[in-house]
Amino acid sequence: MKTGDNTHDLIVTIIKKGWADRVVRASKEAGAEGGTILDGSGTGIHEQKKLLGLSIDPQKDIVLTIIHKEITDKVLSAIVGACNLEKPATGLSFVVELKKVVGIVHLLGQEEKD
């Protein structure tokens, strides 16, 4: 079984509902192959707003992007720019180092050729 050992990162981006396309588009333009979009709900301080006495539970998009380590900074920078993440309450993005990756043939296949 071929695995990528310590060659990939995961960028997790949590943004306003409907903004996932911005993340995926910016990621692809920076060299990523794509991403996985999940639905989520916010529970932070900015989500505690009320309307007519009822709490608002804002929905979020969560985008998971697995990439080769060498393009992590470029892809993360593109996501930050596309979603204005440097501004408060717009969302967040973080990087998780992946120890092993299995099943992403389009990424791992390149390593077998090298």
Q: How do beta strands 54-55 and 59-68 pair?
A: unpaired
The per-residue pLDDT for range 8-59, each reduced to its tens digit, is: 999 999 998 999 999 999 999 999 999 999 998 776 655 556 656 655 557 8
Domain assignment present for 87: yes
Residue 47 belongs to a domain with what CATH number? 3.30.70.120
Number of domains forming the structure of the chain? 1
For the chain, how many helices (H) and strands (E)?
3, 6
Overall pTM > 0.85: no
Which pLDDT score is estimated for 108? Answer: 53
Domain of 18 in residue numbering reads as 9-94
**Who wins on pLDDT, 111 or 41?**
41
| Residue 51, number of CB atoms within 10 A of its CB | 7
Residue 109 falls inside a structural domain: no
Q: Assess if residue 99 is contained within a domain.
A: no
Structural domain contains residue 27: yes
The predicted model gives 75-103 an average pLDDT of 93
On whether residue 102 sits in a domain, the answer given is no
For residue 13, being part of any structural domain is answered with: yes
Which phi and psi angles does 53 have, rounded to 5°?
Answer: 80, -5
User: For residue 53, is it within any domain?
Assistant: yes
Whether 100 is in a domain gets the answer: no
